[in-house]
Each structure stands twice: as structure tokens, then as C-alpha cells.
Amino acid sequence: MNRRRERVVVVGAGLAGSLVALYLARQGHEVDVFERRPDPRSALARPEGRSINLGLSARGMRALDGVGLLADVLKHSVPMRERVVHSPEGGVRVQPYGVREHEILHSVLREELISLVVTAAEAEPEVRFHFDHLLTSLDRETGVVQVASTAGGEPRTVTADLIVGADGAFSTVRQELQHGLRANHAQEFLPWGYKELTIPVGVDGQPRVRLEALHVWPGHEAMMVAHPNRDASLTCTLFMAYEGPVSFAALDTPTAVRDFFRQRFPDAEELMPDLVREITENPVGHLVTVRTAPWRYADRVVLIGDAAHAVYPFYGQGMNSAFEDCMVLDECLTAHPDRATALAAYEAARKPHTDVLADLSTTNFEDLRDRVHRFGYSASAAADRLLARLLPQRWVPLYAMVAHTTIPYADALARANRQDRILRRAGAGLALATGLAATAAARRIGRRRRATRR
């Protein structure tokens, strides 16, 4: 692949598609990117019910750094140094994200991030973005794709050496790639959806809550998180069931909305003057996990990002892992001149890890919903952080490995499981030692009492 210039078609100019276009252009290829939505830099572009801002962490940062974009992106982001957990009683508990200075997340606007990457990719002489253009079909044997303008007119035919499917969780490229093959495909929707709400800037121009943090309002039946924006507002994402007594459907009157917030997120309600209007007008987004294989066909078609592995957003890793895909694909294409081998190496390097990420993301949903506000959870997170401080080379909490390192996800989980076993054994040892000491003390007291009586 790196030996001669080839023609690449990228389908989708979301986060993954725009970054992979830049990586492939830097390899010297001619890249055409087709995106059904308008140019993100135009006023018309609006995310279709998808989150407005995202948490960027180590993997995404490394991939952006690989094409020299990190410094610029960080200038457009707000650092999130800790998690602030709000309780229904109105109290807050602060949980640092890591033990070291750099172990923080960065909140960045989706459209702003895509715009930065698209602008950088477009600066490469051989990259062309075609917005408002939809892929309608592709022939995986010949590399012929059909694209149609969303404004209408006859579809266009383009022939590519390589087609990269970066067209998201409901990928058309994936359907065409896997059609008629012994493909595995599992798609699972969470019974909860999400809605975006706003904590605007205060009347004094100051943020209404601590800005450089991710705010979390956990809850068994509904939860909310808030990411900071550069204008000192915060974008909240409310997660809850679609239907039922506690659900988006039940928030059908202004009174129902206010009662619900006063009961569950009382300190947030005071910060959200547009709450009723936003709940009424904003759409409910869906959350889906996709596990699928194969991700590639011969030397011709390959999937990246959500098209290959959509995950629930509760570990904040969807975009980060999509960016990591771009970097790994680039490395595999460089390492293996035979493209079919390169694509196979890429899938083998990524799939086992993104499958683990899907599990981790589901578990983190359960943690945020049920456990994060419990004393036991905070205590074990604090023990994890203490051990990480005492044994920095040997002890790294799972969250830190996922968010602040680029250790592959499955390796991170295996290491965390080993650490847990050690902690459990140490805990059991401590409990046993405490039990033996207590028994010995009771015996001593008994002996003393008997001696006094005598």
C-alpha cells in the first residue's frame, strides 16, 4: 500500500472517516470522502440527535498526535480534571480521574473536532470531500461504488482500490461487505435512550457549576452527565428508559418535567432555565452496541469506527477507539505491503479489544447507574488510587488504563483482574489476621477475668 499511490474511497466524514482520510493522504494516496450530511463547517450541519460534546482521552489524543493535530484540538477543548458526583440530597463527591497531573479528559465539541480534522485533511493535495453525497451501493469485488447527491440527480460511479467504511453504527458498507458471507452480526439496543439538555452560562458570565469536571447525577432509573464547553456552559445528557413510569414518555407535561427533576436531580433543576422547552423539543437518541465480523473483504473493503464496533457511550471510548483504529490501520498498511495481509492484521489487532470495550462499556453503564454513589464504590476506587500512588509502576486502576494509557483494552482488563485477585487475597488475609487477633484478644481478656475472679 505504501509503495504506490492508490485510489481510496472513504464513506462517512464523521470522526473516524475524516481522520483516516488524513492518515491515508499522508501515505500518499488519492482519497475521496463521501458524506451524506452537509459540511460540518457550514451553519446547516447539525448532529442528528447525537451528543454535542465528547470526552477525548489518551487513545484519541495519540491518534491525533500522529497527524500533528493534537495541540490544535486541545486549544479547542476544556480539561475535565475530575468527576463530580451529585446526590439527590444535594451533596457532591469529587472523584479525581487519575493520580497524575496529565491523567485528565478533554471535552470537545463534536462538530468543531470534525471541522478541524476535515480542514487539515483538505489541505492535503490529494484529498477531496464530497458532502451531501450518499453511498448507495458498492461492489466488493471490483471496488465500484455508487454515490448519489442528497439534492437529487443521477448517481455517480467511482472505482477504488480500497474502500473504507466509516459510515457509523448502521453502516451501508458493512452490509455490502458482509452480504452472502458467513458473517456474524449482533446488534443490541439499550432500553434507555438519551436527550441533550443545557446548563447555560450564569448571568454574570461565569459557569454555574465547577467547569473543569465531568458532572454525574447517578440514578437507578435515570442518570445524567454534563460535559463543559468553552463558553462556560455545560451540555447535559439525560439517560433513561423510553417508556414506562420513569421514562421520556412520562415527561409529557411541564409539571411532570419539573417534579421529576426536583425529585431526582434537585441541584441540576435550578441550573437549567430552559429545561421544560428542551425536554419537549429535543429528540431522544438511541444507544446501540454492534459486534460484527468480518471487518474486511480481501484487499478491497475495510470497516473502522462505529461501523466495526459501536459501543454504549458510558466509558467515553467510542470516538477514542475509532481514532485508534485509524492509527492501527495506518500502521498495518505500512508494515504489510500486501494489502489483504494488512487488512487482516488490522482486524486481528483490533477486534478482540473492541469486543472487550463493548463489555466494559456495558459494565460502566451499570456502575454509573447503580454503584458510583455508593460508599463501597468510592472506597474501592480510593484504594485503587492509593495503590497506584504507592506502586506507580505496578498498580494501574482499570479506568486509568482505559482512559489514560493505550494498553489494548483486553490486556488492560486482564491486568485489572489480576490486581483485583491480589486485592481480594490481601483483603481476605487482612480479614483473617483481624479475626485471629480478635480471637486472641478475647482469649486474653477471658484469661485475665478468670485470673481476677480467682
Ligand X SMILES: Cc1cc2nc3c(=O)[nH]c(=O)nc-3n(C[C@H](O)[C@H](O)[C@H](O)COP(=O)(O)OP(=O)(O)OC[C@H]3O[C@@H](n4cnc5c(N)ncnc54)[C@H](O)[C@@H]3O)c2cc1C
Q: List residues near ligand X by CB under 6 A.
A: 11-17, 34-37, 50-51, 54-55, 134-135, 166-168, 172, 194, 237, 285, 305-307, 313, 316-320, 322
SS3 call for 282: coil
Please give, one letter per residue, the 3-state secondary structure of 308-329. HHCCCHHHCCHHHHHHHHHHHH
Q: Based on CB atoms, which residue is closest to ligand X, 67 or 319?
A: 319
For residue 138, the minimal CB distance to ligand X (Å) is 10
Query: Within 13 Å and on the Cβ side, how many CA atoms surround 376?
Result: 3
Q: Based on CB atoms, which residue is closest to ligand X, 296 or 395?
A: 296
For residue 79, the minimal CB distance to ligand X (Å) is 14
User: What region, left, alpha or beta, does residue 331 occupy, with left being phi > 0 and alpha being psi -120 to 50 degrees?
Assistant: alpha
For residue 309, the minimal CB distance to ligand X (Å) is 9
**What cell does 436 get?**
485471629
Q: Based on CB atoms, which residue is closest to ligand X, 324 or 419?
A: 324
Q: Based on CB atoms, which residue is closest to ligand X, 329 or 387?
A: 329
Q: Based on CB atoms, which residue is closest to ligand X, 34 or 409?
A: 34
Q: Based on CB atoms, which residue is closest to ligand X, 38 or 266?
A: 38
Q: Based on CB atoms, which residue is closest to ligand X, 304 or 343?
A: 304
For residue 436, the minimal CB distance to ligand X (Å) is 48
For residue 323, the minimal CB distance to ligand X (Å) is 8
Asked whether 262 and 270 are in contact (CB, 8 A), the reply is no
State how far the Cα of 403 lies from the Cα of 122, in Å rounded to an integer.
30
Q: Based on CB atoms, which residue is closest to ligand X, 308 or 387?
A: 308
DSSP state of 371: I
Which of these, 127, 126, 143, lies nearest to 33 by C-alpha position?
127
For residue 280, the minimal CB distance to ligand X (Å) is 19
Share of the chain residues as helix, strand and coil, in percent rounded to the nearest 5: 45, 25, 35
Which of these, 236, 238, 225, lies nearest to 198 by C-alpha position?
236
State how far the Cα of 193 lies from the Cα of 181, in Å rounded to an integer.
32
State how far the Cα of 318 lies from the Cα of 232, in Å rounded to an integer.
25
State how far the Cα of 27 lies from the Cα of 81, in Å rounded to an integer.
36
For residue 14, the minimal CB distance to ligand X (Å) is 2
Q: Based on CB atoms, which residue is closest to ligand X, 20 or 332?
A: 20
Which of these, 224, 267, 264, 226, lies nearest to 245 by C-alpha position?
264
For residue 194, the minimal CB distance to ligand X (Å) is 5
For residue 54, the minimal CB distance to ligand X (Å) is 4
SS3 call for 440: helix
**What cell does 82 get?**
475530575
CA distances from residue 243 to 50, 246, 253, 279, 370 in whole angstroms, order as listed: 20, 7, 15, 15, 20
